[in-house]
């Protein structure tokens, strides 16, 4: 997988202030057909049009690329919730549009990459893999996100604590499998 870093990794200026504390990650589904590389142009257009307040995450992933848009220690605008934006790292799983360019099996390959990235970030910040550190967008905001994953792993289940926990436990199991294999060399890829 190719790791691509935006200029924010080499410039001194950042979009936001440092997070007061990092408590975990939030997994998102982008509900688009965009690849991680497509988000380079998409985010540059948001910057050029002064529209970053519409939202962005630190990391965008698919099976081929991981686009590191903004350094993870900094506040993001990914959850529509101030607490989540200030304390959690957003991981955007690309090409998640339901009935989009990817089959469910192909999207699940993108999911696997997101689980590895989640494990990498949790290990970097010395956080355990559990229900407090692995979160989903709809825990913080009234949204369908992560809609594709919800559809695949939860079917037509209504949004409630039980179905949220079921999906999170699936994610936690997957992330834990990668967490145990993350090496110091892997951690060096974080830029």
If DSSP codes are grouped into helix, strand and coil, which group holds residue 175?
helix
Mean pLDDT, the chain, integer:
95
pLDDT attached to residue 191: 58
Nearest to residue 122, comparing CAs of 71, 178, 66?
178
Q: Which CATH superfamily groups domain 2-190?
A: Peptidoglycan recognition protein-like (3.40.80.10)
What is the Cα 9 distance to its own chain's centre? 18
How does pLDDT run across 62-96, given as a tens digit for each residue? 999 999 999 999 999 999 999 999 999 999 999 99
How does pLDDT run across 36-65, given as a tens digit for each residue? 999 999 999 999 999 999 999 999 999 999
Note the pTM of the prediction, 2 decimals: 0.96
């Amino acid at each position: 997988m190719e790791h691509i870093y935006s200029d924010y990794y080499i410039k001194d200026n950042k979009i936001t202030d440092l997070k007061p504390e990092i408590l975990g990650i939030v997994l998102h589904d982008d509900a688009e057909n965009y690849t991680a590389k497509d988000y380079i142009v998409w985010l540059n257009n948001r910057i050029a049009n002064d529209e970053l307040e519409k939202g962005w995450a630190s990391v965008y992933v698919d099976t081929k690329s991981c686009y590191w848009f903004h350094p993870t220690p900094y506040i993001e605008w990914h959850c529509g919730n101030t607490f989540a934006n200030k304390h959690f790292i957003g991981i955007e799983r690309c090409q998640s549009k339901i009935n989009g360019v990817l089959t469910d099996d192909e999207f699940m390959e993108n999911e696997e990459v997101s689980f590895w990235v989640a494990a990498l970030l949790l290990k970097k910040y010395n956080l355990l893999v559990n229900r407090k550190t692995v979160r989903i967008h709809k825990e913080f905001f009234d949204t369908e996100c992560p809609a594709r994953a919800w559809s695949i792993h939860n079917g037509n289940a209504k949004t409630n604590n039980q179905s949220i926990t079921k999906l999170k436990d699936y994610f936690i199991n997957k992330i834990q499998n990668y967490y145990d294999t993350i090496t110091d060399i892997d951690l060096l890829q974080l830029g």
